[in-house]
Amino acid sequence: MKMKLPGMYGITRIDVNGQERAVHAYRVSIQKRNKKFVKYFTDLRSGSRAKAFEEAKAYRDKIVRTTKPFTRAEISNSVKTKNKSGMVGVTYIVKINDRGRKPLKYYYWKAWWSPEAGKPKTAAFSVNKYGYEGALELAKKARLKGLKEMKGLDLSFLKLSKLRTKTRIHKR
C-alpha cells in the first residue's frame, strides 16, 4: 500500500540573507524509531530552488518508504517525556467547574486505551474518593485491563509503576 504524504511533510525551507553569506536550502528532518535523518539540499548545489525541492522530496520519500512504521501496539506503549504516572495512557487531570458561585476543582486519574482503531475508551478515578495513590493504581489497572482487549499486544513487559511519590501530591 502506497502512503501519500503531504507535500512539505518533514521538509523545511531555509532562506537566510546574511551580510557575509546567504543560505537558501531545503532541510529534510525525520525521526523514526529513535533515529534521526537530517539532510540539507541547497539551491546552489542542486542548480535551482525547484531541483533542490525535488531532491529533498525524493530523499524524504525514500526514508519514509524504507523505515518500518510503528504498529498501534508500539504507539500504545511508547512512554512520552511528559508522562507523570509512569504508564502510557494514564493521566492526572484537574478539572475546574466554574458554573456556580464558587469554582470547584475535581482531581482524578484517567486511563485511556483503544481496543480498535478509532474507538477509544476511558475510565476515571476520583482522588477525593480513592485518594491520590489509590486512584492512580486503579487507573493503571484499568489501562492494563483495557490493553488486554487490544489484538496482538504483548503485555509481558508491563508492570504497575511505583514512580509516583507522596511528595508530589497535588495542591488543593
Averaged over 130-134, what is the pLDDT?
93
Domain membership of residue 115 (yes or no) is yes
- The most confident of the ranges 25-39, 73-87, 91-105 is 25-39
The secondary structure of residue 101, as a DSSP letter, is: S
Does residue 110 sit in helix, strand or coil?
strand
Averaged over 83-105, what is the pLDDT?
80
Q: CB count, 10 Å around CB of 6?
A: 7
Number of domains in the chain: 2
Domain membership of residue 139 (yes or no) is yes
pLDDT band of residue 52 (cuts 50, 70, 90) is very high
For 51, the enclosing helix (H) or strand (E) is: helix 49-66
Lowest-confidence pick of 33-47, 55-69, 96-110: 96-110
- On whether both 151 and 96 belong to a single domain, the answer is yes
- On whether both 156 and 85 belong to a single domain, the answer is yes
pTM: 0.47
Averaged over 139-143, what is the pLDDT?
91
- On whether both 85 and 51 belong to a single domain, the answer is no
Instruction: Inform me whether the pLDDT recorded for 81 exceeds 80.
Output: no
Domain membership of residue 4 (yes or no) is no
Instruction: Inform me whether the pLDDT recorded for 45 exceeds 90.
Output: yes
Supply the mean pLDDT for the chain: 79
Domain membership of residue 3 (yes or no) is no
- On whether both 52 and 76 belong to a single domain, the answer is no
Is residue 97 within 8 A of residue 107, CB to CB? The reply is no
Q: What is the residue range of 30's domain?
A: 11-66
- On whether both 22 and 84 belong to a single domain, the answer is no
Instruction: Inform me whether the pLDDT recorded for 150 exceeds 60.
Output: yes
- On whether both 111 and 80 belong to a single domain, the answer is yes
pLDDT band of residue 154 (cuts 50, 70, 90) is low
- On whether both 152 and 97 belong to a single domain, the answer is yes
Domain end call among 23, 44, 66: 66
Domain membership of residue 2 (yes or no) is no
Domain membership of residue 5 (yes or no) is no
Strand partners for 24:
15
- The most confident of the ranges 9-23, 40-54, 94-108 is 40-54
Domain end call among 34, 49, 66: 66
Instruction: Inform me whether the pLDDT recorded for 43 exceeds 50.
Output: yes
Q: Residue 95: which region, alpha, beta or left (left: phi > 0; alpha: psi -120 to 50)?
A: beta
Averaged over 129-146, what is the pLDDT?
91
Domain membership of residue 48 (yes or no) is yes
- On whether both 87 and 27 belong to a single domain, the answer is no
pLDDT for residue 89: 82
- On whether both 23 and 90 belong to a single domain, the answer is no
